[in-house]
Amino acid sequence: MSLPECSATQLAQLIGPNATNALAAADFICNQFTAVGKKFVDTQYAVDTTYLLFSAYLVFSMQLGFAMLCAGSVRAKNTMNIMLTNVLDAAAGGLFYYLFGFAFAFGGPSNGFIGKHFFGLKDVPSVAFDYSYFLYQWAFAIAAAGITSGSIAERTQFVAYLIYSSFLTGFVYPVVSHWFWSSDGWASATNTGNLLFSTGVIDFAGSGVVHMVGGIAGLWGALIEGPRIGRFDHNGRAVTLRGHSASLVVLGTFMLWFGWYGFNPGSFTKILSAYDSGTYYGQWSAVGRTAVTTTLAGCTAALTTLFGKRILSGHWNVTDVCNGLLGGFAAITAGCSVVEPWAAIVCGFIAAVVLISCNVLAEKVRYDDPLEAAQLHGGCGAWGIIFTALFAKEEYVNQVYPGKPGRPYGLFMGGGGKLLGAHVIQILVIIGWVSATMGPLFFALNKMKLLRISAEDELAGMDLTRHGGFAYAYEDESHKHGIQLRKVDHNSSSTPTPNPTTDL
């Protein structure tokens, strides 16, 4: 942010020749204005940085949501294993994103394919961004890795988690985020050169960049290692392997919901930007609107899933509703900042249909994903990309992505088909890139016997065989207190006589 220049020489001429030492007086006045102006600049940086850091903390809180959701969705015998993988997604992702990932994603100036500066945060802070921006983007990177861990839960070796998580956060995901979010990216809507189809891809908070990347990576992992033992019977019919705690699933869902308010509105990265200075309307309004569209899409998807699954299964299922809610959030993430609230309801409704349809298809092809991560994040993420290309509003597009008059917008809003063309390309290149990188990685791990655990370990549970014991400790302490348990014969008229030495 540049300050208007105060010229003491020009101001002295306005003071006039009759004033004593007019130049000194003018210089003093200019210095005071400059000092005040710098304070306003400092305040803007402080406000925007605080907003970004708070958003980063919200996104990071989603790791708790992922951990609880994953823990509740697996059987009790694998709870410790899935919790540990969630912790290591964040820890390993932090180091590898610091060393390589951030540079590959945002290390400009660079080519359109991959960044090449700021390895190990060298030369940060810079004019472009401060440390807070790294923290925010790291929280996104580990979210993508967390998505993948859910797809391969309950049957994957611990070393495989470490390898894929490091590779995904250090290379695969950063390259995709460079393409669509860096100002140098070949398909970015903020590209300072030639825009793809004169528009670039509007994937504001990452329906494709985060959710599709994590979902497609998980798809390949789950396909290559195969379904869990007992998931399908000898005739190929699906057998439900229920998670052990619906309470943890609901807790994790609400934590993810809370964190999504950093995920989507926080992607503005700053809030103190006026669209028309001196009015009530500015970027703070767009931030609020983005929170509203996010909420409406999730709520609509949850209710649609509730009644849709009730018709299909005959039950009111809370875990299905939670997954539907998250599917709506994954879908709205791309267009949350550029669509009207009513359009978010359309987004959530179709996201629920997409999720239910993907789950039906997964059972038919005997695909096993304990958290429905590939269907939810991959399928609903892809729908969100298409949805944005159909419903993006011209006014909002120009506000969020300024400096390009006449930029194409949503097809259904009168903006033509160029944005849709760019978004179809985004879906195809994400599928291609993640498949070409993560597919061979999982295949190699499988060939080296590093991917799937043994059948014995899987049946016994990884907590016992790989982590030294179960997550939940069950201990009968009755004998410590001198309690003797008796079987009462209800058919007998006699009543046992209490023994004061053994009974309470």
pLDDT, tens digit (0-9, with 9 covering 90-100), for 412-428: 999 999 999 999 999 99
Least confident range from 44-53, 314-323, 419-428, 490-499: namely 490-499
Per-residue burial over 342-369, b = 16 or more CB atoms within 10 Å of its CB, e = otherwise:
ebbbbbbbbbbbbbbebbeebeeeebbb
Across 449-465, average pLDDT: 94
Has residue 492 got a pLDDT over 50? no
Crossing angle between the packed helical segments 173-181 and 418-447, to the nearest 10 degrees: 170
Q: How far apart are CA 304 and CA 348, in angstroms?
A: 8
- Residue 104 tokens read as 């590959």
The Cα–Cα gap between 147 and 504 comes to: 51
The answer to whether 334 and 194 are in contact (CB under 8 A) is: no
C-beta separation of 78 from 471 below 8 A: no
Residue 250 binned pLDDT confidence (cut-offs 50, 70, 90): very high
Work out the average pLDDT over 430-459.
96
Model confidence band, residue 468 (pLDDT cutoffs 50, 70, 90): confident
DSSP per residue, 359-428? HHHHHHTT---TT-HIIIIIIHHHHHHHHHHHH--HHHHHHHS-S-TT----GGGT--SHHHHHHHHHHH
Whether residue 502 has pLDDT greater than 50: no
Rounded to whole angstroms, how far apart are CA atoms 16 and 86? 71
The mean pLDDT of the chain is 90
Higher pLDDT, 194 or 501: 194
CB 146 within 8 A of CB 164: no
What is the residue type of 50? T
Strands (E) across 313-389 are located at: none
* Confidence at 15, pLDDT banded by 50, 70, 90: low
Structure token pair of residue 146? 């967390």
Residues ≥6 apart with Cβ < 8 Å to 343: 293, 335, 387, 391
Distance between CA 297 and CA 294 in Å, rounded?
5
User: Shortest CA distance to 229 belongs to which of 66, 366, 375?
Assistant: 366
Per DSSP, 269 falls in state: -
pLDDT at residue 48 is higher than 50: yes
Tell me which H or E stretch contains 79: helix 79-96
Q: Return d(Cα 210, Cα 138) in angstroms, integer.
A: 12
Q: What is the mean predicted confidence (pLDDT) over 90-102?
A: 96
- Cβ-proximal residues to 475 (8 Å cutoff; 6+ apart), any chain: none
C-beta separation of 415 from 202 below 8 A: no
Q: Say which range, 58-62, 86-90, 273-277, 484-488, has the weakest mean pLDDT.
A: 484-488
Residue 161's SS3 state is helix
Between the two ends of the chain, the Cα-to-Cα distance in Å is: 76
- 3-state DSSP assignment of residue 152: coil
pLDDT score for 8? 56
Q: Output the pTM of the full model.
A: 0.88
Residue type, 263: F
pLDDT score of 28 more than 80: no
Q: Measured between alpha carbons, how far is 476 from 394 in angstroms, rounded to an integer?
A: 66
Tell the residue number behind the tokens 């940085």, with chain if given. 49
User: What does the pLDDT look like over 297-332, one tens digit per residue?
Assistant: 999 999 999 999 999 989 999 999 999 999 999 999
User: Measured between alpha carbons, how far is 293 from 334 in angstroms, rounded to an integer?
Assistant: 11
Calculate what percentage of the chain has a pLDDT beyond 90.
Answer: 78
User: What number of other Cβ atoms are within 10 A of residue 279's Cβ?
Assistant: 9
Contact 430, 212 (CB under 8 A): yes
Q: Give the 3-state secondary structure of residue 425.
A: helix
Q: Is 36 helix (H, G, I), strand (E, B) or coil?
A: helix
Q: How far apart are CA 144 and CA 326, in angstroms?
A: 14
Q: How confident is the model at residue 481 (pLDDT cuts 50, 70, 90)?
A: very low
Residue 159 in this model has a pLDDT that exceeds 80: yes
Nearest to 354 by CA among 374, 370, 334: 374
What are the backbone dihedrals phi and psi of residue 196, each rounded to the nearest 5 degrees, phi first?
Answer: -60, 120
- The residues facing 282 across adjacent strands are 274
- What local confidence, expressed as pLDDT, does residue 488 receive? 44
pLDDT greater at residue 224 or residue 472: 224
The token duo for 492 is 């007998």
pLDDT at 275 over 60: yes
DSSP assignments along 171-231, one per residue:
IIHHHHHHHHHSTT-TTBTT-SSPPGGGT-B--SS-IIIIIIHHHHHHHHHHHHH-PPTTS
Q: Say if residue 16's pLDDT is above 70.
A: no
d(CA 277, CA 279): 6
Lowest mean pLDDT among 10-14, 62-66, 88-92, 130-134: 10-14
Q: How remote is the C-alpha of 116 from its chain's centroid?
A: 25
Distance CA 206, CA 329 (A): 11
As a 3-state breakdown, the chain gives helix, strand, coil percent values, each rounded to 5, of: 65, 0, 35
Q: Which residue has the higher pLDDT, 288 or 32?
A: 288
- Catalogue the E-assigned strands of 266-360: none
Mapping DSSP to helix (H, G, I), strand (E, B) and coil, where does residue 486 land?
Answer: coil
Of 130, 112, 109, 111, the closest CA to residue 121 belongs to 130
- Rounded to whole angstroms, the Cα distance separating 18 from 398 reads 51
Rg of the chain over CA atoms, in angstroms?
A: 28
Quick: pLDDT tens for 360-414. 999 999 999 999 999 999 999 999 999 999 999 999 999 999 988 889 999 999 9
